C-alpha cells in the first residue's frame, strides 16, 4: 500500500476515531504486507532525501487506522542521532498489561501524522509501561518493558486503537500545567 502524506487519514475524517479490532493470527499475507509498508514508511520518513521525494512526514510510529484500516497493528522505530535504529517493532495486537502511576510528558509536546493543526500543551502519560504483543519482525509474542520516550510513543500508538488522539489528553483550561511529580522527557 502506498503510504505518504496524502494517503494518511487526518483527524477531520471520522474514521480516525473508529475503534480498531484484533488481528487474527497467524497474520494474513495482506495484514503482513500492510504492516511492513507501515514500518517502511516510519523508517524512510526520517531519511531527508527519501522523505522529500516520497512526500513523507517524519514519524516514529504509525498505526493501521491512520491508513484507513481499523486493525490493531502499529509500527515503531526509534533512531539515534546518527540515524541508527535503536528500537524497531512491527506489532500486532499490542496491549498494555501494566503502567506506572508516575507520569511523564514530552517537553516539546506531542504531534501526530493524522493531526495537521498544532495543538500545544503537555500530554501526561505513564512514565513506564509493559506491552504484550506479537512482533512480526521476530515472529513471536513479546513483552516490551518501556520507559521514557518509548513508553510515550507506545501509549500514543495504542491510543489510536481506541480512537483517541494526543490532544484529547491536553488540559483545556491550562494546557501547559506542570505537574512537579511528573518526569519531563526532553
| CB distance 169 to 125 below 8 Å | yes
| CB distance 39 to 59 below 8 Å | no
Question: Does residue 34 register a pLDDT over 90?
Answer: yes
pLDDT confidence of residue 1: 87
Structural domains of the chain, count: 1
Is 7 a member of any domain?
Answer: no
Q: What CATH number should be reported for the domain holding residue 75?
A: 3.90.45.10
Distance, in Å, from the CA atom of 108 to the CA atom of 79, rounded to the nearest integer, reads 18
Structural domain for 162, as ranges: 14-185
Is 1 a member of any domain?
Answer: no
pLDDT per residue as tens digits for the range 139-156: 999 999 999 999 999 999
Closest Cα partner for 185 from 145, 159, 151? Answer: 151
Is 143 a member of any domain?
Answer: yes
pTM assigned to the model: 0.96
According to DSSP, residue 21 is labeled B
Neighbours of 149 (CB within 10 A): 16
Is 177 a member of any domain?
Answer: yes
What positions carry a catalytic annotation? 157
Is 8 a member of any domain?
Answer: no
pLDDT confidence of residue 157: 98
Is 137 a member of any domain?
Answer: yes
The confidence band for 13, taking pLDDT boundaries of 50, 70 and 90, is very high
Distance, in Å, from the CA atom of 115 to the CA atom of 106, rounded to the nearest integer, reads 17
Closest Cα partner for 65 from 111, 26, 23? Answer: 23
Is 30 a member of any domain?
Answer: yes
Mean pLDDT across the stretch 111-124?
Answer: 96
pLDDT per residue as tens digits for the range 92-110: 999 999 999 999 999 999 9
Is 9 a member of any domain?
Answer: no
pLDDT per residue as tens digits for the range 37-71: 999 999 999 999 999 999 999 999 999 999 999 99
Amino acid at each position: 500500500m502506498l503510504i505518504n502524506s496524502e494517503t494518511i487519514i487526518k483527524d477531520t475524517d471520522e474514521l480516525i476515531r473508529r475503534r480498531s479490532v484484533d488481528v487474527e493470527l497467524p497474520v494474513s499475507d495482506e495484514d503482513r504486507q500492510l504492516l511492513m509498508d507501515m514500518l517502511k514508511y516510519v523508517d524512510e520518513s526520517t531519511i531527508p532525501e527519501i522523505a522529500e521525494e516520497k512526500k513523507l512526514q517524519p514519524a516514529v510510529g504509525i498505526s493501521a487506522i491512520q491508513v484507513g484500516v481499523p486493525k490493531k497493528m502499529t509500527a515503531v522505530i526509534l533512531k539515534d542521532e546518527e540515524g541508527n535504529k535503536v528500537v524497531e517493532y512491527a506489532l500486532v495486537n499490542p496491549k498494555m498489561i501494566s503502567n506506572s502511576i508516575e507520569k511523564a510528558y514530552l517537553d516539546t509536546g506531542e504531534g501526530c501524522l493524522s493531526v495537521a493543526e498544532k495543538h500545544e500543551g503537555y500530554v501526561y502519560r505513564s512514565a513506564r509501561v509493559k506491552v504484550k504483543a506479537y512482533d512480526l519482525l521476530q515472529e513471536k509474542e513479546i513483552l516490551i518493558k518501556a520507559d521514557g520516550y518509548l513508553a510515550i510513543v507506545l501509549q500514543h500508538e495504542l491510543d489510536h486503537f481506541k480512537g483517541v488522539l494526543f490532544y484529547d489528553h491536553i488540559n483545556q483550561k491550562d494546557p501547559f500545567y506542570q505537574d512537579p511529580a511528573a518526569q519531563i522527557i526532553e
